[in-house]
């Protein structure tokens, strides 16, 4: 099997959604998994390359499988396509603007957007069995991630083993992305509980994931957890029939649980830091000083980068491109580098970084794409809530965005790969001008959500 395709008769069907192996690697191992390999080629790039190559070869040699009507769109939105074309053009025009390796390092995470085209196309032509198999792989990855992350966090393990074939120690915790993935796991477990599946293991998984996030001192991770849980509740509420008693129970219980959460969260390490960011008197002295110091440093970096971008009209419109170290050129690098970080090339805010590299055009397009993604999730919340794969994709988007706004996430493979892959899945839900009724129907009777979910291990 290569990239989700197997040899066989003409128009053979993908065994999983294309890109599953690369996304599963990150769901299981987060940042350290993407560092397996040697610069500039890592295992993530190899898996993506093999997947896309297999998908391309299979569709050309065996023919594309007709859309089955499960989704009516086999590509992302026109807005995303415009964003990707602009980013690609800006990337190519930046060649020579800095060292070649830096140019590649800065630009490739943006080019991972190609995964949105691949995942949307693959989903549109997938079978129910392929989607269920993809979800089983993702569940296994999330379980593995939760297990090792909890061991590291609750065990207080500071040093993990290094291996020659990796540029990062194995099982090294990266609070931002790991907290986001734990939030996704908590949301998925909550969905299984609310759907009436076996509740014991999902409950254990939800509690363990949430407790791990609440132990980490990451405010963005706490926000990612809260948004994941809130989205899971919204999706299940939308997917529950109006006459169902569960919907009434949710309306009665959720406000009480939200009130309890508001009382408890400020007492946790990330909650204390979040409160101290806005009101230092509400947190301990150390937490207040640390949180406010970090926030001041970020604000200085963001304002400095914005000022640097605005110094030239062309840079304001089109950005500084890729390959240059705009943090160094703007004089803000010293605020981020120190004992914790070195070799920093991002302002710890994806949107500010977009403004610096892509200008106001790229910045506006990136904001519009994110808003369109969130709007699609809200619009199709009932459909998403009925299917585990769609739910996971929505949770990945909602969990990654906040940590990308306060860290280096979407500028790296461990954030960009799952985000853009999930974006393609969500974009495929949008109505196409060519309705399903006008498409060639193959395997056109969608299985109910419960059937799609069968065989998925309960966490």
Residue pair 120/74 in contact (Cβ under 8 Å)? The answer is yes
What pLDDT does residue 451 have?
Answer: 41
CA distances from 250 to 226, 236, 297, 385, 398 (A): 17, 9, 41, 15, 21
| Per-residue pLDDT at 447 exceeds 80 | no
State the DSSP code for 150: H
- Contact (CB, 8 A) for 402 and 252: no
Stretch 363-381: mean pLDDT: 98
206 has pLDDT over 60? yes
> Does residue 9 fall inside a structural domain?
no
Question: Which helix or strand (DSSP H or E) is residue 198 part of?
Answer: none
In a domain, 426, yes or no: yes
| DSSP type of residue 5 | B
- Does the pLDDT at position 280 exceed 80? no
CB atoms within 10 A of CB 226: 20
| Strand segments (E) across 87-166 | none
The pLDDT of residue 341 is 58
Q: Is residue 11 part of a domain?
A: no
Q: Within a domain: residue 2?
A: no
Residue 305 lies in a domain: yes
* Cα gap 336→450, rounded to integer Å: 48
Who's near 247: CB < 8 A, 6+ residues apart? 237, 240, 241
Which residues span the domain enclosing 224? 20-157+173-453
Give first-to-last CA distance, the chain, whole Å.
27
Distance CA 281, CA 258 (A): 24
pLDDT value at 357 more than 80: yes
Work out the pLDDT band at 73, boundaries 50, 70, 90: confident
What's the domain count of the chain? 1
Count of beta carbons in the 10 Å neighbourhood of residue 238: 16
Q: Which has more pLDDT, 255 or 22?
A: 22
The pLDDT assigned to 459 comes to: 42
Residue 143 reports pLDDT greater than 60: yes
- Taking only the tens place, the pLDDT of each residue in 92-138 is 999 988 899 999 999 999 999 999 999 999 999 888 999 999 999 99
For the segment 411-431, what is each residue's pLDDT rounded down to a tens digit?
A: 999 999 999 999 999 999 987
Q: Which of 20-24, 71-75, 147-151, 431-435 has the lowest mean pLDDT?
A: 431-435
**pLDDT of 368 strictly over 70:** yes
- 202-216, 253-267, 406-420, range with the lowest pLDDT: 253-267
d(CA 85, CA 108): 14
In a domain, 167, yes or no: no
448 pLDDT higher than 60: no
Instruction: Identify whether 368 is part of a domain.
Output: yes
**Is 15 within a domain?**
no
CA distance 431 to 77: 10
Over the chain, what is the mean pLDDT? 86
DSSP 345: -
In whole angstroms, give the CA distance from residue 422 to residue 47.
Answer: 17
Q: Which residues contact 449 (CB under 8 A, 6 or more apart)?
A: 239, 386, 387, 388
Q: What is the CA 372 to chain-centroid distance, rounded?
A: 15
Higher pLDDT, 298 or 88: 88
- Asked whether 367 and 351 are in contact (CB, 8 A), the reply is yes
In sign, the C-alpha dihedral spanning 234, 405, 389, 11 is: positive
Q: Tell me: the pLDDT tens digits for 149-195?
A: 999 999 999 888 988 888 889 999 999 999 999 999 999 999 999 88
Chain centroid, CA 440 distance in Å: 33
């Amino acid at each position: 099997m290569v990239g989700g395709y197997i040899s066989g008769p003409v128009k053979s069907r993908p065994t999983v959604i294309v890109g599953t192996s690369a996304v599963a690697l990150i769901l299981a191992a987060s940042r350290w998994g993407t560092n397996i390999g040697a610069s500039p080629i890592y295992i993530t790039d190899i898996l993506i390359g093999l997947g896309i190559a297999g998908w391309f070869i299979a569709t050309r040699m065996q023919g594309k499988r007709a859309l089955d009507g499960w989704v009516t769109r086999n590509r992302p939105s026109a807005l995303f396509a415009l964003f990707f074309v602009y980013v690609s053009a800006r990337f190519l025009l930046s060649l020579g603007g800095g060292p070649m390796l830096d140019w590649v390092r800065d630009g490739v995470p943006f080019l991972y957007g190609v995964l949105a085209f691949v995942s949307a196309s693959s989903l549109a032509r997938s079978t129910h069995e392929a989607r269920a198999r993809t979800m089983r792989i993702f569940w296994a990855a999330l379980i593995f991630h939760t297990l090792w992350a909890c061991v590291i966090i609750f065990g207080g393990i500071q040093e993990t083993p290094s291996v020659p074939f990796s540029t990062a120690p194995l099982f090294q915790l990266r609070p931002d992305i790991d907290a986001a993935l734990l939030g996704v796991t908590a949301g998925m477990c909550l969905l299984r509980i609310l759907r009436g599946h076996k509740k014991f293991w999902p409950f254990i998984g939800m509690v363990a994931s949430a407790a791990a996030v609440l132990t980490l001192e990451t405010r963005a991770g706490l926000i990612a957890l809260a948004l994941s849980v809130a989205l899971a509740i919204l999706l299940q509420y939308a997917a529950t029939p109006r006459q169902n008693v569960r919907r009434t129970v949710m309306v009665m219980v959720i406000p009480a649980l939200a009130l309890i959460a508001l009382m408890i969260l400020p007492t946790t390490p990330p909650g204390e830091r979040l409160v101290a960011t806005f009101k230092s008197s509400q947190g301990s002295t150390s937490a207040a000083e640390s949180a406010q110091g970090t926030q001041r440093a970020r604000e200085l970096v963001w304002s400095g980068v914005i000022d640097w971008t605005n110094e030239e009209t062309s840079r304001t419109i089109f950005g500084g491109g890729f390959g240059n170290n705009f943090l160094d050129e703007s004089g803000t690098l010293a605020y981020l580098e120190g004992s914790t970080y070195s070799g920093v090339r991002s302002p710890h805010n994806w949107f500010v970084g977009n403004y610096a590299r892509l200008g106001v055009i790229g910045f506006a397009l990136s904001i519009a794409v994110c808003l369109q993604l969130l709007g699609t999730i809200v619009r199709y919340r009932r459909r998403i809530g009925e299917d585990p794969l769609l739910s996971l994709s929505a949770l990945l988007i909602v969990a990654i965005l906040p940590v990308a706004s306060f860290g280096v996430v979407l500028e790296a493979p461990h954030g960009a790969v799952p985000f853009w892959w999930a974006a393609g899945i969500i974009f495929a839900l949008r109505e196409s001008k060519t309705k399903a009724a006008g498409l060639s129907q193959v395997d056109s009777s969608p299985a109910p959500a419960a059937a799609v979910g069968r065989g998925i291990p309960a966490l």
